[in-house]
Amino acid sequence: MKKLVIVLLAVCAALVCCSFALRCFAKYQAYKHPEFREYTDPVTGKTTTNMADYFMALSLYDQAAEKTLRRQYAKYLPEELVGAGKFFGIDRDKDEYTAYVYLRLEEYAVFKGSAYSMSGVSGEAVLRYTMKGEGEPALKEIIWCASGAGNDKWLKKRFPRPFYEKARAYVSQNGQEKLAKETKGRLKEKRCVSTETEDLLEIDRDTGKYKIIKTRETGEPGKDYKFETETVEEGVLEPGGAEKEQ
């Protein structure tokens, strides 16, 4: 009997600890992603936990990466498609949902313990999706913003006024820089590797020939600025190398 009581007390203590840890994690994510503090669940229309909103957003980002990018070098190296973003607002029409966001999507190749950015896209976008279960979005369409001089006109046409203003403020405050850090952080969570920020990796998809190129900037912009490159390693990758690098 005494052993049973001890076991029950231990189970209760474990449940309390887990609950506390989950609340702390939710508060941490709410601090990192304040746009979800007053978020309404698209399914029920009721306020839900910050954690559920956070993971729903991550799912949409990952689906956007899979829908937009290609694993161009998977023949030779393991690759990861990573997404991060910023929500400005969501509209609902029956079972259809429309999110107004800023997205950053990147394709990474992992080589010799480091991840190299191989391609990517970023900018404002409209995401159309449905919900296949509570907290499980199914992305249907991505509408990317116009670039250059047509960007502001596109935003005014596509984004409701309050979301347009949030998007403009986000860009003016260099929110994109935070997304770059978040993308690298998400990659590290998935692959446990760091992102190479100085060297470039070039791969010929047909032959498997690769080069690691070191970049260097010297001088001052507008005066004696120079962008220099130097090949520090080259070789040939074998098909099936993705399995060897895992």
User: At 242, is the pLDDT very low, low, confident or very high (cuts 50, 70, 90)?
Assistant: low
User: At 52, is the pLDDT very low, low, confident or very high (cuts 50, 70, 90)?
Assistant: low
pLDDT at 23 over 70: no
Question: What does the mean pLDDT of the chain come to?
Answer: 81
Name the residue with higher pLDDT: 48 or 142: 142
pLDDT at 16 over 80: no
Q: Is 240 exposed, middle or buried (0-12, 13-18, 19+ CB in 10 A)?
A: exposed
pLDDT, tens digit, 9 for 90 and up, residues 161-200? 999 999 999 999 988 888 888 899 899 888 888 899 889 9
> What pLDDT, on the 0 to 100 scale, is given for residue 36?
44
Segments making up each domain of the chain, as ranges: 34-197, 201-245
pLDDT, tens digit, 9 for 90 and up, residues 92-143? 888 899 999 999 999 999 999 999 999 999 999 999 999 886 668 999 999 9
Mean predicted confidence (pLDDT) in 214-228: 81
Greatest mean pLDDT among 8-17, 87-96, 203-212: 203-212
pLDDT at 224 over 80: no
Name the residue with higher pLDDT: 147 or 38: 147
* CA 246/CA 239 separation, integer angstroms: 14
Mean predicted confidence (pLDDT) in 75-93: 92
